């Protein structure tokens, strides 16, 4: 009997702990949502490649810059906040994985410039996506929360390295041959003309 009572008390204690944990999780989520700032995502400005451009090589220059997110409004309870660029990456439709360009460690940067070369791009039309993620950290009393906002820029371009071949120009050797044909034709016409004049002259006399 004592063992049964002990087991029941243990089960009841576990249920109470689980209930308290769930309550804490819900309460923490409520706080997280309550203090979430109003913000705009990072901005991405692509210089190269141009959208809908055609390139005649299988390598392109990827040049762009990223500006961090902007905080528009904060909760009055927020004591302190900071923002930074958290991660920047790109992915072409010919690639299987996202390519990481920047990941924040202990930096608090809000502007970055990138210039890299992408090689081995297959022939045809492709889509290249650039992804930038910004982060805002807020402190309320003794608690800290972080929020993320991301931006995505898409560029369409076509690789056409197979250039059409131009028709061959006449070789220098062919020009004298053509001139010779013209001269020969003129001489033939002149001889025929002289022959006809002589023939008609003889008939007249």
Per-residue pLDDT tens, the chain, 205 aa: give them: 556 655 566 666 566 555 545 444 456 678 788 999 999 999 999 999 999 999 999 999 999 999 999 999 999 988 999 999 999 999 999 999 999 999 998 888 999 999 999 999 999 999 999 999 999 999 998 889 999 999 999 999 999 988 664 555 655 554 554 555 445 554 555 554 555 554 555 555 5
Q: Where are the alpha helices (DSSP H) in 36-171?
A: none
Q: How far apart are CA 39 and CA 69, in angstroms?
A: 7
Specify the 3-state DSSP secondary structure of 200: helix
Which neighbouring-strand residues pair with 130?
90, 153
pLDDT at 44: 98
pLDDT at 185: 57
Phi, psi (degrees; rounded to nearest 5) at 74: -120, 155
The residues, ordered by sequence, that sit 6+ positions from 169 with a Cβ below 8 Å of its Cβ are none
pLDDT at 29: 76
Q: For residue 36, give the nearest of 131, 140, 192, 155 by alpha carbon.
A: 140
pLDDT at 23: 44
């Amino acid at each position: 009997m004592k063992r049964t009572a002990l087991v029941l008390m243990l089960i009841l204690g576990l249920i109470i702990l689980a209930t308290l944990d769930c309550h804490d999780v819900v309460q923490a989520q409520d706080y997280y949502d309550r203090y979430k700032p109003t913000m705009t995502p990072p901005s991405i400005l692509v210089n190269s490649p141009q959208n809908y451009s055609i390139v005649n090589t299988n390598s392109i220059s990827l040049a762009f810059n990223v500006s961090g997110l902007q905080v528009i409004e904060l909760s009055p309870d927020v004591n302190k906040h900071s923002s930074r660029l958290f991660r920047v990456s790109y992915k072409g439709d010919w690639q299987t994985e996202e390519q990481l360009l920047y990941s924040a460690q202990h930096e608090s940067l809000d502007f970055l410039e990138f210039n890299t070369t992408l090689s081995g791009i297959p022939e045809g039309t492709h889509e290249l996506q650039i992804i930038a993620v910004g982060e805002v950290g807020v402190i309320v009393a003794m608690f800290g929360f972080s929020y993320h906002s991301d931006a995505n820029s898409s560029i369409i371009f076509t690789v056409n390295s197979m250039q059409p071949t131009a028709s061959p120009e006449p070789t220098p050797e062919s020009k004298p041959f053509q001139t010779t044909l013209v001269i020969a034709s003129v001489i033939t016409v002149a001889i025929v003309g002289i022959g006809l004049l002589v023939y008609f002259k003889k008939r007249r006399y």
